[in-house]
Amino acid sequence: MKTQQLPWYMNAMFYEVHIRAFCDSTGDGNGDIPGLISKLDYIKQLGIDCIWILPMFSSPLKDDGYDIADYYNIHPDYGTIDDFKQLVNEAHHRGLKIISDLVLNHTSDQHPWFQKSRSEADSKYRDYYVWSHTDDKYSDARIIFLDTEKSNWSYDDQAGMYYWHRFYSSQPDLNYDNPDVIEEMQQVMKFWLDMGIDGFRADAVPYLIQREGTNCENLPETHQILKGFRAFMNDHYEGKILLAEANQWPEDVREYFGDGDEFHMGFHFPVMPRIFMAIRKGDASPIHWIMSKTPDIPDNTQWCTFLRNHDELTLEMVTEEERQWMWEEYAPDPRMRLNLGIRRRLAPLLDNDHQKILLANALLYSLPGAPIIYYGDEIGMGDNIWLPDRNGVRTPMQWDDSPNAGFSTANQNELYAPVITTGAYSYKRLNVSAGLSDPNSLLHKMRHLVEVRKTHPIFASGNYKFLAVDQTECLVILREYQGQKVICILNLSDKNQMITLNLPDDRDKILIDIVHNSKFRHIKSDQTTIATDAYEFLWLKISN
Ligand code: BGC
C-alpha cells in the first residue's frame, strides 16, 4: 500500500483539549468554544492533525461532563450549538479534524430519560436503564471508582429499586439490551456527525452489557452493538472515525478492532505505565514485555498512544507489585493517588526534566500508533494535587504571564479552578508565550519532534522489531516500511551507554540523524558501536 493511501488517522497527531480549561473568551472564569477557536492556530502550529474534545454537552458536572443530561445541547458555560458549528468550520478551514467524546455507557441521573425511568414505571423509559429489586446481581463486576463507590448498585427511592452504574452513582448505566437505547445513541451520533465532526472517542465501551457469571466487561454482545455503530458510520460517514476507550489488556482491546469492522482506533492503555517504569528503572524490559503481548491489528486500524490524559495515570493494567512500585516511585504523597492510579501531570512525574520528557515522547512516537498530546504537556505544565478528584490535572492552560495566565479576564476567585502560581510550574515563568520565544524551550523541542515523526510515515505504517543489544538500559527499535529503515535508540538510564548494533545488511550505508537532520555515521563493517548520553534518544535513518 502506498503511504498517501493511508487513512488520515493512521499518521495523525492528536491533541486532547478540555474546553473549560483552555481559553475563556467571555471573562466568566470558564473556558469556552470561542476561546478554543481563538487558539486553533496555536494547535495547528504544534503539528496537530486532530483535536479530541472532552464532553461539551449539557451536564450537572458531577463527573466534569461525562454525566450528560442532554446529548443535543452544549453546556451553557461553553457556548451554543452555533459556536460549535463555527468551531468545526474553523478547525476544518485550518486542516484540523475534530472528534468529541461519545458517552455511550451511561447518562447523568438528571437526564430526562432517567427522570422518567425512575418515576414512570409504565413508560418506555423504565427499560432504558438497568434496574433490579436486589443489589446482588452481577457481583463479579469490579468497582471502578473505588475511592468513592461501594457498589455498582444504588437504591432509588422513587423507583423503589436498585439501578446499575459502573462509575459514579450519579451516572446510571443505559440498558443496551434495549434496542431503543441503541437507536437513541445512533441518533445522537447522527446529530453530531451531520454537524461535521470527524468522529468520536467512545467512552468506557467495555461495559455496555451485563451478564450473570461474567465480569461484565468485553462481552460478545457488547461487541455486536459496537459493530452496529460502526456499520452505521460506514454507511453514512465515510472517513470519520471511532476511537475506543477500553482500558484493558491488549488481547482484549484487539477484539475492539474486530475484523476491521468495529473501531478504527483503540487506546493502548498498558504500554503507558510501562514507559514510566522503563524510564525510572533504566530498563527496557517492561516495553519488550508489553509489546510481546500486543497482537497485530487489522489493516487500516491503529493504536492510539498517550503518556497522560485528563484522568489519573491508570495502574489497572499492571500487576499488584508493579502498582505498589509505581505508587512508591511516582506518587509518594497519598494525595497523588486516586482509585488505582496517580493524579499527576507528565512534567512533575518526570521531575520537570526536559530530556526525560522528550525521551518519553520519543519512545511513544517510536512505537506503532498515533500519539495524543494532552493539553499543556507540550509546555511541561504542572498539576495541583490538592484539588479534588482529577481536577488537579485539569487546571487552566497557561498562555502567558498576565493575570490568570492569560486564560481568563475574570477575577481570580471566579476561575473554575485556580491557575498554578507557585514554583517551577508557575504560569509566570511557564507559559506558551515564554515557550514560543525561547528557542530551547520544551515547546519548541516537542514541536520539532512532532514534525520529524510526521514527516516520516514509517512511524505510522511501518513494521517494528526490537533489536537485541547487550545493554538492558537501552531500547532499540527498527522501523521498516517499503525498503526504508529507521533505527530508534533510546537510552532509558541516567548513565552514558555504548551499544553495538549488528547491521550486516547495511554495511557501507549511511546513518542519518533525522532529528538533527545531519549525517551521523558511515557504517563501515557488520557492526557499529554508538555512544548515547543519559536519557538520550536517536532516530537514525539508514540511507544509501
Ligand atoms: C473517562 C473519565 C470518566 C469515566 C466515566 C472515563 O473513561 O475518561 O473521565 O470519569 O469514563 O464516564
The confidence score (pLDDT) of residue 3 equals 45
Is the CB–ligand 1 distance for residue 135 below 6 Å? no
The pLDDT value given to residue 461: 84
Q: Is the CB of 103 under 6 A from ligand 1?
A: yes
Q: Are residues 317 and 273 in contact, defined by beta-carbon separation less than 8 angstroms?
A: yes
Q: Which of 144, 311, 312, 374 to mutate to test the pocket of ligand 1 (most atoms within 8 A of CB)?
A: 311
Spacing, Cα 257 to ligand 1 middle (Å) = 21
The whole-number mean pLDDT for each consecutive block of 10 residues of the chain, a chain of 544 residues, reads 73 98 98 99 98 98 98 98 98 98 98 98 98 98 96 98 98 98 98 98 98 98 98 96 98 98 98 98 98 97 98 97 98 97 98 98 98 98 98 98 98 98 97 98 98 94 93 98 95 98 95 98 96 98 96
Q: Could you tell me which of 397, 386, 536, 395 has the C-alpha nearest to residue 475?
A: 536
pLDDT of residue 4: 54
Report the distance separating Cα 19 and Cα 22, nearest Å: 5
What pLDDT, on a 0 to 100 scale, did the predictor assign at position 1?
40
Kindly list the catalytic residues. Answer: 203, 245
Separation of CA 90 and ligand 1 centre (Å): 28
Is the Cβ–Cβ distance between 38 and 4 less than 8 Å? no
Cβ-count burial of 392 within 10 angstroms (0-12 exposed, 13-18 middle, 19+ buried)?
A: buried
* 365 close to ligand 1 (CB < 6 Angstrom): no
Q: Which cell numbers in the block locate residue 203?
A: 467512552
Residue 462: the pLDDT is 83
Residue 5 has a pLDDT of: 79
Distance 2 CA to ligand 1 centre (A): 37
Ligand 1 pocket mutation pick from 16, 18, 59, 66 by most atoms within 8 angstroms of CB: 66
φ, ψ of residue 528 to 5 degrees: the values are -140, 140
Beta-strand (E) ranges in 153-290?
153-156, 161-164, 199-203, 241-244, 265-267
Instruction: Assess whether the C-beta atom of 167 lies below 6 angstroms from ligand 1.
Output: yes
